[in-house]
Amino acid sequence: MTGTCTFCGIVAGEIPAEIVYSDEHAVAFLDISQATRGHTLVVPREHCRDLTDIGPDRAGLLMGAAVHTAALLRRALEPGGMNIWHATGPTAWQTVFHFHLHLLPRYTPEDLKRAWTHRDLPLSSLSPLADRIRAAAAS
């Protein structure tokens, strides 16, 4: 799917990128838009659109590559911490529709803004929501 997918083009070597790790299942490269120093994307070699398309086996292999790449980033850059981020769908800010994980080394708490605000709710208020999700598994 290299004709329309930027990440497939990078995996195929048709689009230049700074690749920092690759194996038979995944490729990790520096994001061209560095949110923090060392911001790296980890993508599967096979095209899949998003979290609903990747499947558990391929997701597990990709997570293994992400863990390996995170260790490389930690050794090379010595950040104080790291975030992993994923977005599925335009509403969640997905802009490239090839599954990918963002590894974001963190040097100070102010490097990035929080992605959400916390709202503490009583546990009992979550029961109807949990029931609806469990019902989806049965259908």
Structural domains in the chain (count): 1
| Structural domain span for residue 32 | 6-114
- Is residue 38 within 8 A of residue 31, CB to CB? The reply is no
- Per-residue pLDDT at 119 exceeds 90: no
Q: What proportion of the chain, given as a percentage, has pLDDT over 70?
A: 98
Judge whether 130 lies within some domain. Answer: no
* pLDDT at residue 99 in the model: 96
Q: What is the mean pLDDT of residues 34-39?
A: 95
| Confidence at 44, pLDDT banded by 50, 70, 90 | very high
Phi/psi at 43 (nearest 5 deg)?
A: -125, 150
Residue 100 annotated among the catalytic residues of the structure: yes
Q: What is the mean pLDDT of residues 44-70?
A: 96
Look up residue 134 and give its two tokens. Answer: 């469990």
Q: What is the mean pLDDT of residues 92-101?
A: 93
Judge whether 133 lies within some domain. Answer: no
Judge whether 137 lies within some domain. Answer: no
Beta carbons within 10 angstroms of residue 35's beta carbon: 14
Judge whether 74 lies within some domain. Answer: yes
Q: What is the pTM of this model?
A: 0.90
For the chain, what is the mean pLDDT? 93
Fill in the amino acid letter for 100.
H
Judge whether 126 lies within some domain. Answer: no
Q: Identify the active-site residue in 86, 100, 102, 118.
A: 100
Judge whether 119 lies within some domain. Answer: no
Strands across the sheet with 19-22, in order? 19-22, 26-30, 40-44, 101-106, 81-85
Judge whether 136 lies within some domain. Answer: no
* pLDDT at residue 114 in the model: 76
Judge whether 95 lies within some domain. Answer: yes
Q: If you write DSSP's letter for every residue of 68-96 in order, what string do you get?
A: HHHHHHHHHH--SEEEEE---SGGGT--S
Residue 102: CATH number of its domain? 3.30.428.10
